[in-house]
Structure 1
Amino acid sequence: MNPAIEQIITLRKEGKLDEAIALANKLVAGEPNSPIAHYQCAWCHDAAGLEREAVPYYEKAIELGLAPEDDLAGALLGLGSTYRTLGLYEQAAATLAKGRQQFPQDRSFPVFLSMAYYNLGRHHEAMTLLLQNLAETSIDPTISAYRRAIVHYAEDLDKTW
């Protein structure tokens, strides 16, 4: 791994976000066609609560072809979540749905997508995603005992018998 990226990650993990951002900005300036540099820069801005500043770096990282092995899932989740926190709910849902399609094994996508659906007033879809995810992943024995029923009911919460 690039030593500068290792240092950025270390600084971010240590909470030294101003230093991480400065180094990430320098890396992007020196390697403007590096999707990994843009992704790391986005992540640093996002972690610092600078969501608006993070968006173009996420977008550029994805546009430049950030590979799955280079954290494409993290970039899609970060961008989708950031769009949502900025009130850009349609973009959030589209980005998170794309991530869910590309990374079906990643359980964070349906959870974050359900939040975007909620913000869009798509409450039925939001609840369905959450309930299915809960039923399929919970190790709590009181949830597991009702897994089949929860999944069944999640398909149509308005149905009565």
Structure 2
Amino acid sequence: MSAESGHDEALAEAVRLRALRTPQAHERLLSLAAGHPGHAGIAYQTAWAHDSLGLEAQAVPFYQRALDGTGLPAEDRHGAFLGLGSTLRVLGRYEEARAVLGRGLTEFTDDAALRTFLAMTLYNLGEAREAVSTLLKVTAATSADPGIQAYRRAVEHYADRLDETE
């Protein structure tokens, strides 16, 4: 068994334990991250484990390592942008959150989850008009509600014209 497959198996087991919400998952991921500091996948899973335990501040450097690394699958890269952006927002680091979520949207254009967390961040930054506009666009694009869909064009049109009257 190669070192690569050995740490991949250990990572898979740690992820399985994290999904089961066992305390051993966090310990195993920390150990793996210490032994493989350049492995983006391990960094991402370690960040996620910290977040799920309410250790947001400790998750940040692992999310950053995951995004700075290479080889992270697109789904996990998306999750790292979302996790880091939302974590920075929760920590009150709003400008950093905006930057991370914006970077995520350059890779995952029009992603509803990234846009929703960006809207919350914009609200926290005092940019209520832009936050509401963003949420209206997300709602119009993703809602299955027949009433929203019946007025989708109007919602999209006025999302950028919230103060417009005739």
TM-score bracket, shorter-length normalisation: over 0.9
User: What corresponds to 1:8 in structure 2?
Assistant: 14
- How far is the alpha carbon of 1:134 from its aligned partner? 0.2
- The one-letter amino acid paired with 1:28 is A
Matched-pair identity in %: 44
- The one-letter amino acid paired with 2:11 is I
CA root-mean-square deviation: 1.4
Q: 2-side partners of 1:147 and 1:14: how far apart? A: 41
Q: Does 1:113 align with 2:103?
A: no
Gaps of 5+ in 1: none
User: What corresponds to 2:160 in structure 1?
Assistant: 155
TM-score, scaled to structure 1 = 0.94
Q: How many residue pairs end up in the alignment?
A: 160
TM-score, scaled to structure 2 = 0.91
- How far is the alpha carbon of 1:105 from its aligned partner? 4.8
User: What corresponds to 1:40 in structure 2?
Assistant: 45
Q: Deviations over 1:53-96 (max 9, x none)?
A: 10011111112235343611111110000000000000001100
- The one-letter amino acid paired with 2:98 is A
User: What corresponds to 2:91 in structure 1?
Assistant: 86
- How far is the alpha carbon of 1:106 from its aligned partner? 2.5
Q: 2:143 aligns with which of 106, 126, 138?
A: 138
Q: Deviations over 1:23-81 (max 9, x none)?
A: 00111122121111111110100011100110011111112235343611111110000
